[in-house]
């Protein structure tokens, strides 16, 4: 019995960063922007959080730093894909590589450094669950949510009514980055708590896939994230019996599994209609 | 004399190479319908975009109720009481009607759709404009979508309503409904600017007409009475309204379609057991509201889509499942619905586009190579023969106007020995002159023995060209029946309700 409880607790912990990042991506994609840079933003957030917490000694300052770093990283994607109307997929991939490389480079001196006051995992977990409900409420019951969804579905219609399509997409993208940064902060301040290069280990990609799997619904993301947390935990427990390379490949394997399941359930039909398409006034 | 609510004086707008509006004056009075009549490219859309704040005029001034204004953006136009009902609805397809309406209204932050119920009820009382607030927009008919746009403009307090080609997507019955709504709006003091190129409806609804030609307001009539005069003002020459039918003799069936069923891209049934015969020398018009299987029908006949069941025979020979190239060789021509995307390769030259059907055989091909000289020679011949306004064979197709692109397609598709012509919206977006030419070409081909399957959303086009008329509704074909045996209204009913309307009329 105790075994099961501890397994579930570990599954929740594994699922938390996936959930936080996926919630951000749900909002971004609802506004019509695809950001494949989640993994990179998460890494940048993790490093910024750890560096701030370690130097100041205050882990909450670390959380703030992680969130801000994620937001700043995302604004680069927003500029390239919203203003310059570049290909969002390429820009997001570039952001992932940039984030991973940059955090590895700048984080060298923090490798192996101790953190005096790590944070509790459960705080992040509950915050993520509450956020998923709040995001659901905002998306479906408020004007803000209506505007975000409309911009993602049909930016031309929103524009004709005098809404600021670019501003909305910027806001959503930066919010998504902040959530990815928060996920990173969870990893380096609570889950590990330490900094090492590549510590995000593909979790960002699972978050991207999860966004599709849960059909862009924040509350479903809670169940999805913990389901994948459980799978992760089980694989972890089988470590002795499976080759270790298997574990390393697991996130990417999960992405394929997630997308296959999503395709089988025909969930892609729920994608916002304007998803991934840059908006320019006067073109159809 | 009352004061006009909207007064334009000397409005000019130039784009590189064209004067879209040239010193246009316009007065719109409260309680009246003012029609803006003109061909495509006459400058109606530009003028509308100026009024709605998309463009700034280069010259001239706009007065609203006697006050000079500058309309900088659509949002500002709406604040000033100008509402636009666009030709193609700008709605979020997968949101509800209420959500779409709330998006443009200053309702509260929390549950913005909540206060709408009461206001929709008021509108229903006042104008008898009714629409279900909870319905998803994608489930609405074109007429209902338009109603949502009108309601939105009225909810936002529009005193001047601009309707851009509002009947182009409607059945005659829906158009009649719309006209009643327009009358109720003007009766309660609103002004309507009605943009159209259809003479009959302008005569029916308008209190005043201003005719635009080549960017200039060439005159106005108050109230308009005479169709011939209006047409002459619009086109700049006399226009004949006679039926353009030729003397083609109807012969044996060339195309026999038997119980044809097809799936759409989304895997849903798009055609349900459709059967008909197309005879030599005949024009069969297929009407219907867009999305009822027209595209799929043409695609399967042109070899672009697989039939699920049923058969197609050409001169008694089964051609089901043949490729587009095989079909063309057998004498099936295809004038596609989207001429830019399906009819030409916009980035390729006129000469190359003209050779797309035959580039792989001599004289265009020489072994592995294309004979550029032969391509150019051919292009020069076609340009001369079909009066295509292309400066040289090497000009990229995308630089030409819609009418000239259509000429390229017709020149290419209608060459050689034809049995069947599949023509979809062949005159969509073309001006009167170019449309007449396209019609003449198609009728000419019927006299040479070809049969035409004409798919169009323009009922006037169907009625004036066809010998037989059928209506596609939800993938089922009503008819075909002799064109002389049905009225416009009957066709309209079939478009809205399908076969059930057929039986009730007969009974």
Contact B490, B478 (CB under 8 A): no
Closest B-chain CA to A154: B92
Least reliable range by pLDDT among A101-105, A147-151, A280-284, B184-188: A280-284
**Residue B328: predicted pLDDT:** 92
CATH architecture of A2-110+117-264: Orthogonal Bundle (1.10)
Contact B342, B409 (CB under 8 A): no
**Residue B399: predicted pLDDT:** 82
Alpha helices in chain A (DSSP H): 2-30, 38-56, 59-78, 88-106, 121-141, 143-153, 155-160, 165-186, 203-213, 218-237, 244-264
**Residue A247: predicted pLDDT:** 74
* Angle at CA of residue B221, ends B215 and B225, nearest 5°: 125
User: Please, which residues 210-229 of chain A have a Cβ atom closer than 8 Å to chain B?
Assistant: none
Task: Return the domain boundaries, chain B.
Answer: 6-235, 243-331+417-507, 342-416
* A214, two tokens: 């849960």
**Residue B112: predicted pLDDT:** 93
Q: How confident is the model at residue B507 (pLDDT cuts 50, 70, 90)?
A: very low
Is B31 exposed, middle or buried (CB count within 10 Å of its CB: 0-12, 13-18, 19+)? middle
Q: How confident is the model at residue B505 (pLDDT cuts 50, 70, 90)?
A: very low
Contact A14, A233 (CB under 8 A): yes
What are the pLDDT digits (tens) for B249-269?
A: 678 899 999 999 999 887 788
Contact B312, B332 (CB under 8 A): no
Average pLDDT on B435-459 reads 88
Chain A and chain B share a number of CB contacts under 8 A equal to 58
* B391, two tokens: 């400066």
Please choose, from the candidates A64, A61, A89, A69, the residue with its C-alpha nearest in 3D space to the C-alpha of residue A77. Answer: A89
- The rounded distance, in Å, linking the Cα atoms of B19 and B22 is 6
* Angle at CA of residue A184, ends A119 and A199, nearest 5°: 100
User: Please, which residues 156-215 of chain A have a Cβ atom closer than 8 Å to chain B?
Assistant: 156-158, 160-163
Average pLDDT on B60-78 reads 90
Q: How confident is the model at residue A284 (pLDDT cuts 50, 70, 90)?
A: very low
- The rounded distance, in Å, linking the Cα atoms of B491 and B496 is 9
Of A147, A163, A273, the CB nearest to B94: A273
Query: B268 touching A, CB under 8 A?
Result: no
Is B267 exposed, middle or buried (CB count within 10 Å of its CB: 0-12, 13-18, 19+)? exposed
Average pLDDT on B70-94 reads 89
**Residue A51: predicted pLDDT:** 96
- What ipTM does the predicted assembly reach? 0.89
Percentage, residues of chain B above pLDDT 90: 46
User: Please, which residues 70-109 of chain B have a Cβ atom closer than 8 Å to chain A?
Assistant: 73-75, 78, 86, 90-95, 99-100, 102-104, 107-109
B92 to each of A55, A214, B168, B290, B345, how far by Cα in Å?
49, 22, 21, 18, 31
Closest B-chain CA to A270: B94
Query: B340 touching A, CB under 8 A?
Result: no
Query: B112 touching A, CB under 8 A?
Result: yes
Neighboring chain A residues of B90 at a CB cutoff of 8 Å = 154, 156-157, 160
CB atoms A161 and B111 under 8 Å:
no
Q: What's the full length of chain A, in residues? A: 284
Please choose, from the candidates A69, A269, A78, A81, the residue with its C-alpha nearest in 3D space to the C-alpha of residue A181. Answer: A69
Mutate to test the interface with A, among B86, B103, B158 (most CBs of A within 10 A): B103
Which is more confident, B143 or A128? Answer: A128
Q: How confident is the model at residue B500 (pLDDT cuts 50, 70, 90)?
A: low
Contact A213, A259 (CB under 8 A): yes
| DSSP bridge partners of B195 | B36, B164
Given a cut of 60, whether residue A283 has pLDDT beyond it is no
* A17, two tokens: 């960063």
Given a cut of 60, whether residue B503 has pLDDT beyond it is no
A28 to each of A37, A172, B390, B418, B503, how far by Cα in Å?
12, 5, 46, 53, 52
**Residue A193: predicted pLDDT:** 93
Q: How confident is the model at residue B159 (pLDDT cuts 50, 70, 90)?
A: very high
Q: How confident is the model at residue B460 (pLDDT cuts 50, 70, 90)?
A: confident
Strands B208-213, B420-424: pairing kind: unpaired
Q: How confident is the model at residue A241 (pLDDT cuts 50, 70, 90)?
A: confident
CB atoms A157 and B94 under 8 Å:
no
Neighboring chain B residues of A147 at a CB cutoff of 8 Å = 103
What are the pLDDT digits (tens) for B121-149?
A: 988 888 888 888 999 998 888 889 999 99
> What does the CA dihedral A251, A255, A258, A264 come to, rounded to 10 degrees?
-150
Strands ordered across the beta sheet of B309-314: B269-279, B253-263, B309-314, B317-318
Please choose, from the candidates B314, B335, B294, B293, the residue with its C-alpha nearest in 3D space to the C-alpha of residue B428. Answer: B335
Average pLDDT on B71-84 reads 89
Q: Three-state DSSP class for A173?
A: helix
CATH superfamily ID and name for B243-331+417-507: P-loop containing nucleotide triphosphate hydrolases (3.40.50.300)
Q: How confident is the model at residue A199 (pLDDT cuts 50, 70, 90)?
A: very high
Given a cut of 70, whether residue B213 has pLDDT beyond it is yes
| DSSP bridge partners of B423 | B335, B454
- The rounded distance, in Å, linking the Cα atoms of B298 and B312 is 12
- The rounded distance, in Å, linking the Cα atoms of A102 and B311 is 63
CB atoms A273 and B111 under 8 Å:
no
Q: Which of B245-254, B354-363, B426-435 has the highest mean pLDDT?
A: B354-363
Neighboring chain B residues of A143 at a CB cutoff of 8 Å = 102, 107-110, 112
Give per-residue burial for B232-255: e unless 16+ CB within 10 Å, then b: ebbbeeebeeeeeeeebeeeebbb
pTM: 0.81
Given a cut of 60, whether residue B247 has pLDDT beyond it is no
Strands ordered across the beta sheet of B420-424: B332-335, B420-424, B451-455, B283-287, B468-473, B476-482
Neighboring chain B residues of A163 at a CB cutoff of 8 Å = 103
Given a cut of 90, whether residue A100 has pLDDT beyond it is yes
- The rounded distance, in Å, linking the Cα atoms of A270 and B491 is 36
Query: Cα B196 to the chain's mean position, in Å?
Result: 12
Instruction: Indicate the average pLDDT of chain A.
Output: 91
Query: A153 touching B, CB under 8 A?
Result: yes
Q: What's the full length of chain B, in residues? A: 507
Q: How many CB atoms lie within 10 A of CB B74?
A: 18
- The rounded distance, in Å, linking the Cα atoms of B237 and B231 is 8
Query: A149 touching B, CB under 8 A?
Result: yes
Task: Return the domain boundaries, chain A.
Answer: 2-110+117-264
Contact B393, B351 (CB under 8 A): yes
**Residue B54: predicted pLDDT:** 85
Instruction: Indicate the average pLDDT of chain B.
Output: 87
What are the pLDDT digits (tens) for B328-346?
A: 999 999 999 888 888 999 8
What are the pLDDT digits (tens) for A16-25?
A: 999 999 999 9
Look up the CATH number of domain B6-235: 3.40.50.300
Mutate to test the interface with B, among A137, A144, A150 (most CBs of B within 10 A): A150
Neighboring chain A residues of B110 at a CB cutoff of 8 Å = 141-143
What are the pLDDT digits (tens) for B289-326?
A: 888 899 999 999 999 999 999 999 999 999 998 999 99
Q: How many CB atoms lie within 10 A of CB B488?
A: 15
Which is more confident, B484 or B152? Answer: B152
**Residue B322: predicted pLDDT:** 92
Given a cut of 90, whether residue B25 has pLDDT beyond it is yes
Closest A-chain CA to B114: A141
Q: How confident is the model at residue B434 (pLDDT cuts 50, 70, 90)?
A: confident
Q: Which residue has the tokens 């609103």?
A: B190
**Residue A255: predicted pLDDT:** 82
CB atoms B111 and A142 under 8 Å:
yes
Mutate to test the interface with B, among A146, A165, A216, A271 (most CBs of B within 10 A): A146
Query: A273 touching B, CB under 8 A?
Result: yes
């Amino acid at each position: 019995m105790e075994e099961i409880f501890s397994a579930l607790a570990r599954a929740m912990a594994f699922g938390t960063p996936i959930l936080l990042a996926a919630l951000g991506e749900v909002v971004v994609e609802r506004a019509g922007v695809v950001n494949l840079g989640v993994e990179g933003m998460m890494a940048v957030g993790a490093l910024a959080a750890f560096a701030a917490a370690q130097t100041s000694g205050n882990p909450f300052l670390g959380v703030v730093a992680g969130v801000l770093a994620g937001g700043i990283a995302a604004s680069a994607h927003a500029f390239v894909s919203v203003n310059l109307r570049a290909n969002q997929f390429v820009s997001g991939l570039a952001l992932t590589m940039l984030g991973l490389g940059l955090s590895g480079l700048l984080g060298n001196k923090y490798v192996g450094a101790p953190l005096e006051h790590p944070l509790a995992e459960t705080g992040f977990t509950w915050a993520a669950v509450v956020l998923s409900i709040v995001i659901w409420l905002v998306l479906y019951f408020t004007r803000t949510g209506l505007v975000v969804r409309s911009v993602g579905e049909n930016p031309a219609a929103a524009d004709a009514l005098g809404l600021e399509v670019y501003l909305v997409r910027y806001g959503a993208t930066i919010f998504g980055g902040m959530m990815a940064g928060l996920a990173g902060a969870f990893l380096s301040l609570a889950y590990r708590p330490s900094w090492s290069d590549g510590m995000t280990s593909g979790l960002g990609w699972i978050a991207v896939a999860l966004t599709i799997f849960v059909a862009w619904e924040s509350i479903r993301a809670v169940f999805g994230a913990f389901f994948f947390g459980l799978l992760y935990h089980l694989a972890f427990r089988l470590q002795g019996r499976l080759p270790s390379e298997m574990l390393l490949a697991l996130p990417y394997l999960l992405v394929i599994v997630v997308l296959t399941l999503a395709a089988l359930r025909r969930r892609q039909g729920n994608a916002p209609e304007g998803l991934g398409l840059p908006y320019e006034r006067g073109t159809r | 004399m009352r004061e006009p609510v909207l007064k334009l004086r000397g409005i000019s707008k130039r784009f590189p190479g064209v004067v879209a509006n040239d010193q246009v004056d316009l007065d719109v009075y409260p309680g009246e319908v003012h029609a803006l009549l003109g061909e495509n490219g006459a400058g109606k859309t530009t003028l509308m975009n100026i009024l709605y704040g998309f463009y700034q005029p280069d010259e001239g001034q706009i007065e609203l109720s006697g006050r000079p204004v500058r309309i900088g953006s659509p949002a500002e136009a709406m604040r000033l009481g100008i509402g636009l009902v666009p030709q193609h609805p700008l709605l979020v397809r997968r949101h509800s009607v209420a959500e779409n309406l709330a998006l443009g209204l200053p309702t509260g932050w929390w549950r913005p759709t909540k206060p709408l119920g009461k206001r929709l009820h008021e509108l229903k009382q006042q104008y008898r404009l009714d629409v279900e607030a909870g319905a998803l927009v994608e489930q609405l008919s074109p007429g209902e979508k338009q109603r949502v746009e009108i309601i939105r403009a009225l909810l936002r307090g529009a005193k001047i309503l601009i309707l851009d080609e509002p009947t182009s997507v409607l059945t005659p019955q829906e158009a009649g409904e719309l006209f009643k709504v327009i009358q109720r709006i003007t009766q309660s003091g609103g002004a309507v600017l009605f943009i159209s190129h259809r003479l009959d409806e302008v005569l029916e609804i308008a209190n005043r007409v201003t005719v635009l030609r080549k960017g200039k307001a060439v005159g106005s009539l108050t109230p308009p009475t005479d169709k011939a005069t209006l047409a002459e003002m619009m086109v700049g020459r006399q226009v004949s309204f006679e039926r353009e039918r030729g003397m083609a003799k109807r012969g044996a069936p060339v195309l026999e379609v038997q119980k044809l069923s097809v799936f759409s891209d989304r895997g849903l049934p798009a055609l349900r057991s459709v059967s008909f015969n197309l005879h030599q020398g005949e024009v069969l018009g297929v009407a219907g509201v867009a999305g009822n299987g027209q595209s799929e029908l043409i695609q399967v006949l042109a070899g672009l889509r697989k039939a699920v069941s049923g058969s197609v025979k050409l001169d008694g020979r089964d051609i089901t499942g043949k490729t587009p190239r095989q079909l063309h060789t057998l004498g099936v021509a295809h004038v596609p619905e989207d001429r830019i995307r399906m009819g030409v390769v916009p980035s390729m030259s006129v000469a190359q586009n003209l050779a797309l059907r035959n580039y792989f055989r001599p004289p265009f091909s020489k072994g592995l190579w294309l004979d550029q000289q032969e391509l150019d020679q051919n292009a020069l011949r076609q340009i001369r023969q079909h009066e295509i306004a292309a400066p040289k064979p090497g000009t990229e197709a995308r630089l030409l106007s819609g009418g000239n692109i259509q000429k390229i397609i017709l020149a290419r598709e209608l060459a050689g020995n034809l049995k069947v012509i599949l023509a979809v919206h062949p005159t969509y977006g073309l001006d009167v002159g170019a449309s007449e030419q396209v019609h003449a070409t198609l009728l000419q081909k019927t006299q040479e023995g070809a049969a035409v399957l004409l798919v169009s959303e323009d009922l006037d086009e169907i009625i004036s060209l066809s010998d037989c008329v059928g209506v596609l509704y939800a993938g089922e074909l009503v008819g075909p029946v002799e064109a002389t045996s049905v009225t416009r209204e009957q066709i309209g009913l079939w478009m809205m309700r399908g076969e059930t309307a057929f039986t009730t009329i007969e009974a």
